[in-house]
Structure 1
Amino acid sequence: MFDVSFSELIVIGAVALVVIGPERLPKVARTVGHLVGRAQRYVNDVKGDIQREMDLGDLSSLKDQMEDAARSVKTSLEETSKSLQAPLQEAKDALADASQSLHEATHAAASEPAVPDTQKSLPGFAEASALVEETHPKPPTGTPQ
């Protein structure tokens, strides 16, 4: 606090001894010591309060930074989730459509005869098979060739 050397303290003590007197000097010295001790404790308490306030300010700014970072991460995760859900939903819909088509095809195949009617499935099949019959007649069955 004060830069007082030992020689300066001796001069102050000698002046106090002359002014106060040897009978009251110990009592005054004790009182001055108590006052200096209180002043030091008060200064230390004020320093501690100031330090706590500064730390609290730092912590609140750090807390705000962490909350901002958390909000940013949360927003990023939500956006990523939404961007991943769209293709997954499309794939799910396509799979459901394919499953429905397969189910319908299975039902249709079960209701149709086992041998497909090629004349219905291929346009112009009847005319082509008639033309083949005219150009290459089938040999009668049961006769060797």
Structure 2
Amino acid sequence: MKQLIYIVIILFSIQTNGQNSTERKQFRVDLLTIEKNTKDTLIGSIIEVFSGEKRIETDISDFDGISIFYLNSKYIINNKVLLKIHGKKCSVFEKEYELTDDLNITIYLEYGESEYTHPKQLSEMYKKLNIKPKTSTCGTVD
């Protein structure tokens, strides 16, 4: 009986931090890329995300100029990320953001000097930036 009391005391004194952790595992990033003056959505903008001098994610905007991706918190240093966006016919956009919650922003790019001027250059830009295209699967799982 004494052993049972000790076991109950030990079980109640152990903290169970694993179940109610306040640390986020992932941040959702929603970007909309628009040209600043014409307000046109920019299709095929290449997004690079850096944290602490290391690129931690890449993505590309869809036909609506939207890019949605997730950032793993273990790769984010000091809660800061740098977005570097290459839009077609636009100057490269760079801005640092502090991540405390999911990020939902509109990025205004400006037409200017750019190496990326045509959709057919996408694979060339991937090679130049050392980005491996992401693979995705379509269909249903049986």
- TM-score of the superposition, structure 2-length normalised? 0.23
Which structure carries more strand by proportion?
Answer: 2
- TM-score of the superposition, structure 1-length normalised? 0.23
* Structure of higher RCO (CA pairs closer than 8 Å, 6+ residues apart): 2
Task: Answer with 1 or 2: which has the greater Rg.
Answer: 1
